[in-house]
Amino acid sequence: MAEVEESEKRKRKLEEEPDSRSIKCRRRDSPVENDDKTANKYGDGSTLHREIEYEEVPKKKTHAEDVAAHYNKLEEVGLEQRSMSRIFYLRNFNNWIKSVLIGEFLDKVRQRKQNITVLDLGCGKGGDLLKWRKGRISKLVCTDIAGVSVQQCEQRFQDMKNRGRQNDRFFSAEFITADSTKELLSERYKDNNMHFDICSCQFVYHYSFETYEQADMMLKNACEQLSPGGYFIGTTPDSYELIKRLESSETNSFGNEIYNVKFQKKGDYPLFGCKYDFHLEEVVDVPEFLVYFPLLEDMAKKYKMKLVYKKTFWEFYEEKVKNIEHKMLLQQMMALEKYPADEGSRLVSHVKEDYEHAEILKKDGKAKLPFGTMSKAEWEATSLYLIFAFEKL
């Protein structure tokens, strides 16, 4: 509560302070008669009116604007180019995680109803559209802070529809560019009374923990319009893992060749606004905020949400890979790298130590060759995240 009160004080202080933005303007000084110290005069005694032009000082971008600008700049690339990426398998693995998570909770909802409505909160360029299509949903609302990404998402949706057969059952969709940490989304829906069965928030919620107000607004957008029995599902960095690695580091940062996390300092981790810089090769290079999960769980109660599932990515993988369908999907999505590599092929990492764990498994003879894995660097990066699911009571 002290954190919330402090946030409210800061908010009131900002409202009371004058606007610090500079405006480009011209000021004409008032003439002062017969005062040679303050006025310049021509020989006829007329006063020279001085014009002073103030240069506009660029307004400092907010964190939200930085995030939007970063994701707007990310270019769409084809499969061939993606397959050459150092993090090709890592990205596919994370995509598999999302696919299994989304599929399982769609199945839970479908046990009680057929027409499913979904809110994709932080939809990006539409990377999950195919998942929603395969999930046979009826209605989708896609929203993101990055306007260019939302446009690309909508275009991808239209292209998907155009490629489909004429009699294919296809869900309807609407697309909204908005800052979900500051704007109430229900006011932007075509149907203000629309309710959802699932809200999916993938790799996004941590951006809201800049302040209590923003984190609460994001939760409100995610949960307030959920129907009873509906789910708020998502993926987010694991604060415990982040702090553990930071405290084990000799500096204020940690990482490897594909990811890096840098905190401003150790030992001081406020509940809101605990910013760190996160870099993931080719994908992410923006500040994020630490999400203290017990606090998120407590805040969600305000919207009648109960935590029903929480696992780290590694725990989720170990649990779900035992299912034959999930294991087959893992192979279809090329979510793991073949080890040893085929003759004439090479592994994504040239560092020998990156596959020490695979060599141990190979020498033990317990795994049938070849088997699927990722480089040590990729496992370290993906194990920073966790999965969560809340149910509306």
Q: How far is CA 353 from CA 112, 145, 333, 337, in A?
A: 49, 40, 26, 16
pLDDT, position 68? 55
Q: What is the pLDDT of residue 285?
A: 87
Let me know whether 319 and 343 are in one domain: no
Q: Are residues 132 and 235 both part of a single domain?
A: yes
**Binding site per annotation, positions:** 94-95, 98, 122, 144, 179, 202, 207
Residue 320 lies in a domain: yes
The answer as to whether 91 is a domain residue is: yes
Give me the pLDDT at residue 382, please.
Answer: 97
Nearest-angstrom CA–CA distance, 303 and 224? 6
The verdict on 220 and 350 lying in the same domain is no
357 and 274 assigned to the same domain: no
How far is it, in rounded angstroms, from Cα 373 to Cα 376?
A: 9
Asked whether residue 94 is domain-assigned, the answer is yes
Residues 286, 211 share a domain: yes
The total number of structural domains in the chain stands at 2
Q: Are 103 and 156 members of one domain?
A: yes
Q: Residues forming the annotated binding site for S-adenosyl-L-methionine?
A: 98, 122, 144, 179, 202, 207
Give binding residues for mRNA as ranges: 94-95
pTM listed for this prediction: 0.81
Confidence (pLDDT) at 73: 57
What's the domain range around 348? Answer: 338-373
pLDDT at position 388, please? 98
How high is the pLDDT of residue 82? 58
Asked if residue 137 is part of any domain, the answer here is: yes
289 within some domain: yes
Domain identity same for 218 and 360? no
Torsional sign, CA 327, 104, 122, 385 = negative
For residue 117, give every residue at least 6 positions away whose Cβ sits within 8 Å of its Cβ, in sequence order, or none: 137, 138, 139, 140, 141, 194, 195, 196, 197, 198
> How far out from the chain centre does Cα 96 lie?
17
Residue 318 lies in a domain: yes
Q: Could you say which residues of the chain have pLDDT below 70?
A: 1-61, 63-83
Question: What confidence tens digit (pLDDT) does each residue in 23-46 have?
Answer: 233 333 333 333 333 333 333 333
Q: Which amino acid is at 345?
A: S
Same domain membership, residue 245 and residue 97: yes
Contacts 24+ apart (CB under 8 A), 213-218: 213/7, 213/11, 214/181, 214/182, 215/181, 215/272, 215/296, 215/299, 216/299, 216/302, 217/180, 217/181, 217/182, 217/183, 217/184, 218/121, 218/180, 218/181
Evaluate whether residue 52 is within a structural domain. no
Q: Residue 291, class by beta-carbon neighbours within 10 Å (0-12 exposed, 13-18 middle, 19+ buried)? A: buried
Say if 35 falls within a structural domain. no
Contact, 153 vs 175, CB < 8 A? yes
CATH number, domain containing residue 146: 3.40.50.150
At 81 the pLDDT is 61
- Of 64, 210, 59, the C-alpha closest to 145 is 64
Do residues 344 and 319 share a domain? no
CA pair distance 112, 330, nearest whole angstrom: 28
The reply to whether 322 and 350 lie within a common domain is no
Same domain, 244 and 348: no
Paired residues of 261 in beta bridges: 254, 278
- The residue with tokens 């949706």 is 157
| Residue 139 shares a structural domain with residue 122 | yes
